[in-house]
């Protein structure tokens, strides 16, 4: 459709900012970007979801996580995965998934080349002309990590700005379908495993080029 921008935004979001589009265009005119991410405020816990902490960029750790989720999926069929998760949270006060950053990114500051949350992404013509949408082999999981991997691999520019804002009713899509906790977790485990395998294939393909 020869669009200048394509906004990929979850259906469980709310835009209250009247100059939402104008501010994105102004940001692009100040500094051309491939992908833009706004300040995403969760209505569930009040947290700011952008920019993301950099995870799932290490092949060894990704393989390890896929194995962990296989174990969780197995335990889920016996309703034991929740017990494992609660035990883990008592032992590990912070995340046990290693990150590629030495600090936690803050939502208050504009940031270039950030990993962006998948619930609200704006793609400019620079991205649209070079890529046919997102990486097509995943479903609902790891898209952010894969997109960031491609950003780094192909030297694209991402911009996060706290001046553009959107509200996110987090997890409402899956909760509408899977209202039971164990079913929702099982859905997550299965799709993380599938996406993790796809991501590993992408990493290996990139190594061979």
Strands annotated E in 104-168? 111-112, 120-124, 158-168
Bridge partners of residue 158, in order along the sequence: 35
Per-residue pLDDT of the chain (209 residues; tens, 9 = 90+): 788 999 999 999 999 999 999 999 999 999 999 999 999 999 988 999 998 887 777 888 899 999 999 999 999 999 898 887 777 667 665 555 555 555 556 889 999 998 999 999 999 999 999 998 888 888 777 889 999 999 999 999 999 999 999 999 876 555 554 456 888 889 999 999 999 999 999 999 988 87
Domains plus CATH for the chain? 5-208 (3.90.550)
Q: How far apart are CA 35 and CA 144, in angstroms?
A: 12
- What is the DSSP secondary structure assignment for residue 39, as one 8-state letter? E
Q: Tokens representing 23?
A: 């501010």
The pTM of the full predicted model, rounded to 2 decimals, is: 0.82
């Amino acid at each position: 459709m020869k669009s200048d921008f394509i906004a990929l935004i979850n259906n469980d979001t709310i835009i209250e900012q009247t100059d939402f589009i104008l501010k994105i265009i102004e940001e692009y005119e100040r500094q051309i970007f491939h992908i833009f991410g706004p300040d995403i405020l969760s209505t569930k816990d009040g947290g700011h979801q952008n920019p993301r902490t950099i995870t799932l960029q290490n092949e060894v750790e990704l393989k390890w996580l896929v194995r962990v989720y296989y174990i969780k999926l197995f335990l889920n069929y016996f309703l034991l995965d929740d017990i494992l998760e609660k035990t883990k949270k008592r032992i590990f006060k912070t995340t046990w998934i290693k990150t590629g950053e030495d600090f936690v990114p803050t939502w208050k500051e504009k940031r270039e080349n950030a990993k962006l949350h998948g619930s609200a992404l704006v793609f400019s013509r620079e991205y649209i002309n070079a890529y046919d949408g997102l990486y097509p082999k995943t479903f609902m999981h790891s898209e952010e990590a894969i997109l960031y991997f491609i950003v780094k691999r192909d030297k694209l520019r991402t911009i996060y700005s706290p001046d553009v804002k959107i509200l996110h009713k987090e997890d409402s899509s899956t909760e509408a379908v899977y209202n039971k906790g164990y079913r929702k977790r099982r859905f997550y485990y299965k799709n993380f495993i599938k996406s993790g395998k796809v991501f590993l294939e992408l990493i290996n393909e990139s190594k061979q080029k």
